[in-house]
Amino acid sequence: MAQARRIGEQGRYELIEEIESGGMGTVWRGYDAVLDREIAVKLIRPDVVATPAQAEEFARRFEREARVTARIGHHGVPQVFDAVLEEASFDRLYLVMEYVRGVSLRKVLTGAADGETTQLPVGWAASIAAQICTVLSYAHALPVVHRDLKPDNVLIAADGTVKVLDFGIAKLLGANVTPLTAVGERIGTSQYMAPEQFDNAQITPLSDLYALGCTLHELLAGEPVFSGDSDYQFLHQHMNVPPKPLRALRPDVPEDLEALTLDLLAKVPEQRPADAYAVYERLSPHLPQPGSAADPVVFTGGGSPSEVPDPTVIYRQPNAPLRQTKVPAPAPQPVAPVPVPARVDTALRDAIRDAYSRSADLAESGRYAQAADVLKAAITAAATALGAHNPRVLGLQRQRAAVLMAGEDFRRALPEFDALAAVYARTAGPSSNGALECRRHAAHCRANLGMATAALREFQDVLDVVSGTDGDASETALDLRRSIGVLLFSEGRRSEAEGVLDTLHEDMCVLLGEDHEETIEIADLLARLHRPEGSGPS
């Protein structure tokens, strides 16, 4: 495995994979080694710098992006965590930002199986546009104009929050601010540009509202306002051709939403709504009410709504707690067995060994999230080459689940252990070591997630199997009995806990000795149980 690139003081930021490359920079997914969290790192592309003047302009634009993004201060814009802006070296010019897991609005619109654009439900479209309005209102208050608002620069995060990306070409409107673009240079995307942008006229927050109108039209109609093969065609249409009313394309669109979209798409800026807040007010009647149920979602183009975060949830359940996800059922065993090569090639074997070694080093440093990510990449490669149920793949999956549990990420570790236990039960038998160990770890995860009843039941089921084969005094059985007794104690079930721990203590005295630290630990628990409830320590 190639050595990851590191930047920052003492190599704090590790670049894992390039996720985007634009005109002036590249964006990488990476890790902050100090805080053990995923980050996005935006770097200047040295290959696009041809002259000293261009270098200076890029450096200033990059610096402005850092400061503008940080100043907006709204959760609908990815946070800036760090910025290094030394103009002397482009290797030292970068932004460290929040890494947002979500789905691009462009992917939502074009995610249909046939490649055609999808019409979104009215509530979804209104919720997305309203969240964009909120971000724009914060930006315009600075005042900052985005200048390239489009579905490609909008992301729906996993919790339904809409994020507006790439303020890299944003323009500050203060009279004392030097413009960063040459006279006559257009910035933006022609399919979403306001007429005044084509005309090189004054750019104002109303220009962003025009782009929002283009986006809202596309969300509801399932097609762009205008289409063409050249910038000239778009220029002509945006400046001279009236947009087609939404209800002519989709009759179920409410009349007031059609009117709002047409107002946003007015050729003359002064004829558009006054500001982003005014647009939000007109969208409000179409936003779901708090406590309302989710509307059924059917994407007309054939896409799958299950893969798209619901942007209405922040209105239906504002500031809701994190939903406890249900443990997914393990994937059914394929009817035809996956062919497994007779041997593993050297490169794959080395990659697996490197993943174990690197993840162990990261976990030892307390960087559990990154350690799990390293193993996940190895699992994907190994499963492709060897088959999902190959022992090497299962071993990597067990190690990843163990790393997640060691990092106390029990919510993610639990479904991993459950799925592994099911695979081992099918392939090696319910009493196999793999199945029992994974069930035991799953029970620990449940106990730490507050699912005490289910955890106790699973601990006891595994203990019954272990006791039947190895007896009550085996190392595994002793550990299971201890887990059951401690969990009963923590749940306040004193008499049941005492019964389990008494017999466990007797066995441990014989097997380990009275002075063994584990025996002493159980003796201390029993002493606490034998004291009357409510009494303090002796």
Q: Enumerate the active-site residues.
A: 148
- Please say whether the beta carbons of 28 and 7 come within 8 A: no
- Please say whether the beta carbons of 74 and 134 come within 8 A: yes
Determine if the peptide bond prior to 305 is cis (ω within 30°).
no
Burial 255-274 (b: 16+ CB within 10 A, else e): eebbebbbbbbbbebeebbe
What one-character DSSP code corresponds to residue 445? H
CA of 529: how far to CAs of 127, 152, 518, 537, in Å? 55, 61, 17, 11
| Whole-number Å distance between alpha carbons of 165 and 154 | 6
> Which tokens hold the place of 425?
């039960």
- Please say whether the beta carbons of 428 and 437 come within 8 A: no
DSSP track, 22-90:
-SSEEEEEEEETTTTEEEEEEEE-GGG--SHHHHHHHHHHHHHHHHHHHHH--TTSPPEEEEEE-TT-G
CB atoms inside a 10 Å sphere around CB 509: 15
What one-character DSSP code corresponds to residue 18? E
| Whole-number Å distance between alpha carbons of 27 and 20 | 5
What is the bridge-based pairing of β-strands 25-32 and 80-85? unpaired
**Dihedral angle over CA of 444, 449, 455, 456, nearest 10:** 100
